[in-house]
A = this chain, B = another copy of it.
Amino acid sequence: MTINTQNDSTADIIEYALRLGDDSLILGHRLSEWASNGPFLEEDIALGNVALDYLGRARMYYTYAAELSGEGKTEDDYAYLRDERDFSNHLLNELPKGDFAYTIVRQLFIDVFNALYLPLLQQSADENLAAIASKSIKETRYHLRRSQDWCIRLGDGTEESHQRMQKSLGELWGYVHELFEQDALEDRLIEQDIAVDSSGLKDKWLAQITETLNKATLAVPDAEWAVRGGRKGYHTEHLGHLLSVMQSVHRRYPGAKW
């Protein structure tokens, strides 16, 4: 890992790891809100599993960032002591949990994305990022099967479930575009074979989503709107409320160990 000896790259990698960590933490947090709220017990358990997987990834990414920073930081410093403007997750992850259809559509979008993204991250020149990707790929395959199955069941279920799915597709569509966009920092890391170039994944992503939606008798939205800004800390008003709850106890007792 010669790259880590270069200071500039290190700062970039820390930031990149935090981005991926933030995506995981915030989505995991939203999924965890389903505890005791699922449509039946099996789903309380399954959604809890997915939430745990994302929480686990967040911890790995943050821990790696903390190691690189060499400032004695811990995973918790990143989760609990940064502000809304410091979080760099994609907006899609921070939107409220919504109803079950909304949660399933978001998961489908993200699972298809991760199923394309993680195998490339597994090839990263950064061994640590590659290792995290390796651990996550299997989980994502399971998540994806679940999302696809649910999408088909709900799309091709009752009229109500079909409508709810179609509505959620419409509401979430504008948030997918930023998944495939990169800034200068990621461009630098792509050049070093560290970060994944996701701009090339959009066609494949759309093809797979289309296939699943077709099976589910659902229409692919054609709306043109796009909202972006997560990577720059430019968030919707939902994230602030999530953080004020999430960080409340930790911030209340500065320096305490748990």
Contacts and interface: CB of A to CB of B under 8 A. Distances in A.
Nearest to A252: B251
Contact of A245 (B241, B249, B254): B241
Is chain A's interface secondary structure helix, strand, loop, or mixed overall? helix
Interface string A235-258: 000000100110111011010000
A247 B251 CA distance: 11
Interface residues of A, number: 10
Contact of A83 (B241, B245, B252): B252
Interface string A76-115: 0000000100000000000000000000000000000000
A68 to B, nearest CB: 26
A244 B254 CA distance: 15
A241 B251 CA distance: 15
Contacts of A252: 83, 251
A254 to B, nearest CB: 8
A245 to B, nearest CB: 5
A83 to B, nearest CB: 7
A89 to B, nearest CB: 19
A248 to B, nearest CB: 4
Interface in A215-247: 241, 244-245, 247
Interface string A51-88: 00000000000000000000000000000000100000
- Of A241, A244, A249, most B-chain CB atoms within 10 Å: A244
Contacts of A83: 252
A235 to B, nearest CB: 15
Contacts of A249: 244
Given A83-B252, A251-B252, A254-B254, 9 more contacts: A241-B245, A244-B244, A244-B245, A244-B249, A245-B245, A247-B248, A248-B248, A248-B251, A251-B251
Closest 8 A-B residue pairs measured CB to CB? A244-B248, A244-B245, A251-B251, A251-B252, A244-B244, A248-B248, A245-B245, A241-B245
